[in-house]
Structure 1
Amino acid sequence: MLRFLPLKLGRLYRCLKLLLLVGLFVILLMNTHNLFASFQKNELTDRRFINLNKCPACFGTSWCRKFMNGQVSFETWGRLRFLDVFNVKNVYFAQYGEPREGTRRVVLKRLGSNQELAEIDQKICKRATGRPRCDLIQAMYKTEFARINGDVRLLTPEVVEGWSDLVHCPSQRLLDRVVRRYAETKDSGSFLLKNLKDTERMQLLMTLAFNPEPLVLQSFPSDEGWPFAKYLGACGRVVAVNYVGEELWSFYNAPWEKRVDLARQLMDIAEQLTNNDFEFALYLLDVSFDNFAVGPRDGKVIVVDAENVLVADKRLIKQNKPENYDVWYESRFEECDREACLSFSKDSLCSRVTVDHNYYAVCQNLLSRYATWRGTTGGLLHDPPAHIAKDGQLEALLDECTKPKKRYGRFQAAKELREYLTQLAAASSSATAR
């Protein structure tokens, strides 16, 4: 009897699949009129759809003219609202057109699920009135977002510390950088709060507390070489960023040479964010295949989800000299039954000068045999060619980078792994050129 079990399960799966298809077809029939309307109407010109009516409890208004003029429009599937049930993260692909530049692809983000956005409204109302529902605009003027007014010269660490990962341990130098580079104001370039309008100040602070990704992209812009997607602008509760390319996961089974090049770039990103001339350490607290994308032309790897980035000011750490500040911090490997999980101490990341977290995160969650994602294991560097597997050096370096056996072993392994991947990439390029 047991031998028939797989057959029955197979039939059940096919039946469920058929029912799902039938259900979708029925939904399409019932919404035929709405479907035609969806293709004809550009919802991105609707103030309520993009939550422009909720400002200043929003992320900005710098791109509102473009939205209202119809320069931004959803791509085909993005126009079908009944598909939103599958789009939990509220991320959409759209087309943006400029008369002189033509049309290009952009990514639109609401920076949270519908539930998370509803919760932020409730929090604002409760802080202002003690009730979960209220006039949101009036309530904003009774919150801490409004109390930090133009009479306050600087945005200071004690005011915003702990609001989000970006400011878990902020320095004055970091906050001045955030305010000075704030793109949702016409008078950017000054770190003085008085140069921001009341509404702009509230928008900045709400973004900082709810989802600071736009501020990370603005403070550490791609134009200066930082490995993040380019921030374009916002209107209401929709922000626009440059479309980078396909997500890293699409290259999981790419040719070996391509995967080696991508792995090398990922280790370079880990190094750049850890050690740079600005002495800001940017630690990636959420590392998965979905959070990186690859450019279609240049093949460059870019971070496309920067919500969970902790920024530590190494200059401040050296100046304040907290306990053990000059002792190298090693992230501890831990077995986990979930995908893309990491073990770290935010307080330790904030109080040490030398930290291996980014190397650990990239090696464990993306490159090594410990990496698990969407039911697969083996990481981006799975199934190496026979001669590389036989040599054993790659596997040894990945293991030491993920689960070090020696004290401070990850630091050395990460350095050697970058060099080794660079050699492999160069060898592949030479072989292709012949």
Structure 2
Amino acid sequence: MLRFVSLKFGRLYRCLKFLFVVGLFVVLLMNTHNLFVSFQRNELTDRRFINLNKCPACFGTSWCRKFMNGQVTFEKWGKLRLLDYFNVKNVYFAQYGEPREGTRRIVLKRLGSNQELAEIDQKMCKRATGRPRCDLIQAMYKTEFARLNGDVRLLTPDVVEGWSDLVHCPSQRLLDRLVRRYAETKDSGSFLLKNLKDTERMQLLMTLAFNPEPLVLQSFPSDEGWPFAKYLGACGRMVAVNYVGEELWSFYNAPWEKRVDLARQLMDIAEQLTNNDFDFALYLLDVSFDNFAVGPRDGKVIVVDAENIVVVDKRLVKQNKPENYDVWYESKFEDCDKEACLSFSKDILCSRVTVDHNYYAICQNLLSRYATWRGSTGGLLHDPPADVARDGHLEILLDECANPRKRYGRYQAAKELREYLTQLSNNAREGQI
């Protein structure tokens, strides 16, 4: 009986597989003309394709001239629109060309799935008209994004607090920084909101509420040493950032020396985002192997997904002195069977001066034996050389950093782990000389 059932399901599976292949072939056949057309034309010059027709319900227009001039083109298979069904995140690889500089690789992002983008349109229409569909451009002028149009001087915390992770607990100093460094205006450099055009203000606020990643990249730019991809510009709902390199996962089975160097850089990123001269703590809420990339030339690790980052103004915390503000906060270890698990409270992150969240996130989700990704376990520092394994110091530090046994143990473990990884990296280089 069991054999009969298994055979029956086997035939059903093969039948469904065959029907899927046939269906895919039919779709390809029906869209043959469209396939050839998509390879021949540059859809990035199409206002509707990049949603330029939806502005100011968009992310910006600073790169529109480059798009319309055909300086931005999809790479190879990126021209095949049929593959968009599998590109849920709406991230594309493209080429950008300048007459004197030649072409270089960039990354284009819609900053959300098609469903998420459709939902934001529906929400704006409902707020403006009570209906899910409407003239989106007119609706924008009836939403909270248009509230600050006119002669309003400053973008203030009471207006945008809680709109997104970036402004879960904003300070005036942070918001002034966002406005002053806003790259989608020709008159950047002023923290006065009234210096922006009405459409620019609405674009800034929509970006802040929907997906603030561009504002993180602009406010904490790579040119100043922050570990983020470089923001280039936007046109409609297509944002362009610099291509960094292959994602961190590609180095999961790299030589030990390379993985040690990457691990050291990851811990340095955790330290930089936690403690810096600007007194802004940037806490990573989404830490996984596909949110980091490695430069092909310099081997530098960069954060390539900056949507889920809470920015805390430590100066404001010290000034307001909320309850237990000066008590060191220890993030609680999250033991789960899913990928990229993290346990955190945004409100607590916003109310403490000293927090170990970034060390915890990097150690648990990327470096230690608790890290799981795409069916693999053991983290980036899996299978160390025999002498390192025998010594046992690395395993002890990783365990204490991910799941500390002593009070405030993660702080000390993170410090010692950075030093130990630096030592291992130096030893590896000396051994190659």
TM-score range, shorter chain: over 0.9
Counterpart position of 1:384: 384
- Give the match's secondary structure for 1:241: strand
2:183 aligned with 1:163: no
SS in 2 for 1:184: coil
- In the alignment, does 2:118 pair up with 1:118? yes
Deviation at 1:26? Answer: 3.9
Structure 2 residue identity aligned to 1:73: T
SS in 1 for 2:60: coil
1:192 corresponds to = 192
Q: Any idea what SS the aligned residue of 1:88 has?
A: coil
Amino acid at match of 2:329: Y
1:148–1:20 distance in 2 versus 1, CA, 3 Å: same
Assess if the C-alpha contact under 8 Å between 1:78 and 1:93 holds in 2.
yes
* Equivalent in the alignment of 2:311: 311
Distance of aligned partners of 1:419 and 1:15 in 2 relative to their CA distance in 1, 3 Å threshold: farther
Give matches, 1:208-223, under 5 Å. Answer: 208-223=208-223
Query: Any conservation in 2 of the 1:227–1:302 contact (CA below 8 Å)?
Result: yes
- After superposition, the C-alpha distances for 1:133-175 in whole angstroms (9 at most, x for unaligned) are 1110000001111111232110000110000000000000000
For normalisation by structure 2, the TM-score amounts to 0.96
For 1:201, the equivalent position in structure 2 comes to 201
Residue in 2 that maps onto 1:176: 176
Contact 2:157 2:170 in 1 (8 A): yes
Contact 1:109 1:239 in 2 (8 A): yes
CA distance in 2, matches of 1:322, 1:42: 54
Q: Secondary structure at the match of 2:92?
A: strand
Is 1:269 aligned to residue 250 of structure 2? no
Q: What is the alpha-carbon distance in structure 2 between the residues aligned to residue 229 and residue 238 of structure 1?
A: 16
* Secondary structure of residue in 2 paired with 1:97: strand
Q: Displacement of 1:31 after TM fit?
A: 2.0
In structure 1, what is the equivalent of residue 239 of structure 2? 239
Aligned partner of residue 270 in structure 2, secondary structure? helix
Superposition map of 1:7-406 within 5 A: 23-406=23-406
Give the distance between the partners of 1:261 and 1:200, measured in 2 at CA: 42
Find the aligned partners of 2:400 and 2:149 in 1 and give their Cα distance: 50
Q: d(CA) in 2 for partners of 1:238 and 1:38?
A: 18
Q: Aligned equivalents of 1:315 and 1:71: distance in 2? A: 43
Kept in 1, the 8 Å contact 2:334–2:341? The answer is no
Contact 1:180 1:188 in 2 (8 A): yes
Preserved CA contact (<8 Å) 2:218 2:231: yes
For residues 406-429 of structure 1, the C-alpha deviation after alignment (integer angstroms, 9 at most, x for no partner) is 000000000000000000000011
For the residue of structure 2 that corresponds to 1:343, the secondary structure is coil
Q: What is the CA-CA distance between 1:25 and the residue it aligns to?
A: 3.9
Q: Is the 8 A contact 2:108 2:239 kept in 1?
A: yes
User: 2:416 corresponds to which residue?
Assistant: 416
Q: Percent identity?
A: 89
**What is the distance in 2 between the residues matched to 1:64 and 1:91?**
18
Using a 3 Å threshold, how does the CA distance of structure 1 residues 238 and 400 change in structure 2: closer, same or farther? same
- Conservation of the 8 A alpha-carbon contact between 1:287 and 1:361: yes
Once residues 375 and 384 of structure 2 are traced to their aligned partners in structure 1, the CA distance between those partners, rounded to angstroms, is 20
Alignment TM-score, normalising by the size of structure 1: 0.96
Distance 1:389 1:11, change over 3 A: farther
Output the CA distance in 2 between the equivalents of 1:262 and 1:138: 49
Q: Work out the CA distance in 1 between the residues paired with 2:156 and 2:353.
A: 22
Conservation of the 8 A alpha-carbon contact between 1:176 and 1:191: yes
Q: Which moved more, 1:142-151 or 1:402-411?
A: 142-151
CA contact (8 A) 1:150 1:195 kept: no
Change in Cα spacing, 1:7 to 1:232, as seen in structure 2 (3 Å) is farther
Distance in 1 of aligned mates of 2:20 and 2:387: 47
Distance 2:222 2:392 in 1: 37
